[in-house]
Structure 1
Amino acid sequence: MNKGIVAAAAAVVFMAGIGVGYTAKPGPSPVMYHDKPNQEAGKALLDVALLQAEDGSWERIGVGRVYYLGGFKAEGQRIFDELLAGKHDDGDAYRIARVYREAGEWEKAKPLFERYLAANPQEAKDLAEVGAYYLLDGDRAAAERLFDRSFAADREEMWATLSTAGAYLGVQPQQ
């Protein structure tokens, strides 16, 4: 009788383990990156990260950012296009615009930033950050209009003041 209980318990534990194996999220494995060229290792890990991100927009944008900036631009763009084509938060467009800005693609970033600011006209920190990008890109008049709007929305927002000061000194806003 004791052996029967042990066998039944072992079967339950085994089946539970199988169930966990089928529902567990994928994870990185050393075979993905040990002794692999950097591009190959990065791509393998990004593919796993995308599966781990599931449907989270912030997470998918994070993965898309690394694809985009890491040499797999088409894969990153596909993620951004999918997110922007569906129902998405205003902040998603803002985060994607930051990636384009970071990639040196200001003309691609600008319309996304403008769309975000039109929908969020009182976000002092964001107004100042985008203003800083304009100033750093050489458009002082547009930058100062955004700085004015930022300080009108909230004169006590330290991050807005910091982004503005940094832009005049050639320092990118902290993200």
Structure 2
Amino acid sequence: MKNRIAAALAASLFVAGIGIGYAAQKVAPQVFHGKSKEDAARALLDVARVQAGDGSWERIAIGRVLYLGGHKQEGQAVFDAMLAGKHEDSDEFRIARVYREAGEWAKAKPLFDRFVANNPKDEKGLAEVGAFYLLNGDRDAAEKLFDRSFAISAEIWATVGAAGAYLGVVPEE
């Protein structure tokens, strides 16, 4: 009897999971139509959370919208949760980009520096961090990172990112 109940429960949870997963693939107009911008954004972010699952880049994207969209504490909570657990260097890099985009170089810099230290062969990452240094007034540190990047490879995105920084253009993300 217990086995049958457990099997029925497992089957219903499986079917419910499929339904939730399928529903997350479609966003119904009533989720955001006719709502205030704030309510529409909240409702869409709720859907995005389901769509994100355990994806770190996806969760960082949600945190970015919150952080830059006027809900800084909620966005920061997303980032703090990410950084407190097991994460990739690329997660720190993406969070650092958000801080930089928010004009918070002091928060971005240590994350970028850690990424550079842990990824000494990432020519595009080195050039991008160098560009951010240049855009924040540290040409010496920027050019050292450009030198390291170009010593690895002459990768177009690294070269374009460095060139753009000299003209005040933020690298493409």
The secondary structure found in structure 2 opposite 1:104 is coil
Cα offsets for 1:100-133 (capped at 9, x unmatched): 1111111111000000110001111111101101
2:135 match? 136
The secondary structure found in structure 2 opposite 1:111 is helix
- Alignment partners' CA distance in 2, 1:82 and 1:43: 20
Task: Read off the aligned partner of 2:54 and give its amino acid letter.
Answer: D
Question: Taking every aligned residue pair, what percent have the same amino acid on both sides?
Answer: 62
Cα offsets for 1:54-109 (capped at 9, x unmatched): 11111111111111111222221111111110111111100111111111111111
1:23 match? 18
- Alignment partners' CA distance in 1, 2:70 and 2:28: 22
Q: CA 1:130–1:18 in 2, change beyond 3 Å: closer, same or farther? A: closer
Q: CA 1:150–1:74 in 2, change beyond 3 Å: closer, same or farther? A: same
Task: Read off the aligned partner of 1:55 and give its amino acid letter.
Answer: D
- Alignment partners' CA distance in 1, 2:14 and 2:40: 29
The secondary structure found in structure 1 opposite 2:115 is helix
Query: CA RMSD, aligned part only?
Result: 1.9
Provide the TM-score with structure 1 as the length reference. Answer: 0.84
- Alignment partners' CA distance in 2, 1:89 and 1:165: 28
Q: CA 1:18–1:60 in 2, change beyond 3 Å: closer, same or farther? A: closer
Worse-matched range after superposition: 27-36 or 58-67 = 27-36
Pairing 1:40-119 to 2, within 5 Å after superposition: 40-119=39-118
Task: Read off the aligned partner of 1:152 and give its amino acid letter.
Answer: A
Provide the TM-score with structure 2 as the length reference. Answer: 0.85
- How far residue 29 of structure 1 moved from its aligned partner, in angstroms, is 3.1
The secondary structure found in structure 1 opposite 2:125 is helix
Worse-matched range after superposition: 71-80 or 84-93 = 71-80
Task: Read off the aligned partner of 1:32 and give its amino acid letter.
Answer: V
1:121 match? 120
Cα offsets for 1:120-163 (capped at 9, x unmatched): 01111111101101111111111111111111222x21111111
1:158 match? 156
- Alignment partners' CA distance in 2, 1:170 and 1:22: 48
- Alignment partners' CA distance in 1, 2:52 and 2:16: 18
Worse-matched range after superposition: 131-140 or 27-36 = 27-36
Task: Read off the aligned partner of 2:156 and give its amino acid letter.
Answer: M
- Alignment partners' CA distance in 2, 1:107 and 1:95: 15
Q: Does 1:167 align with 2:160?
A: no
Mark the runs of 5 or more structure 1 residues left unpaired by the alignment: 1-15
Q: CA 1:125–1:35 in 2, change beyond 3 Å: closer, same or farther? A: same
- How far residue 37 of structure 1 moved from its aligned partner, in angstroms, is 0.9
Q: CA 1:19–1:84 in 2, change beyond 3 Å: closer, same or farther? A: closer
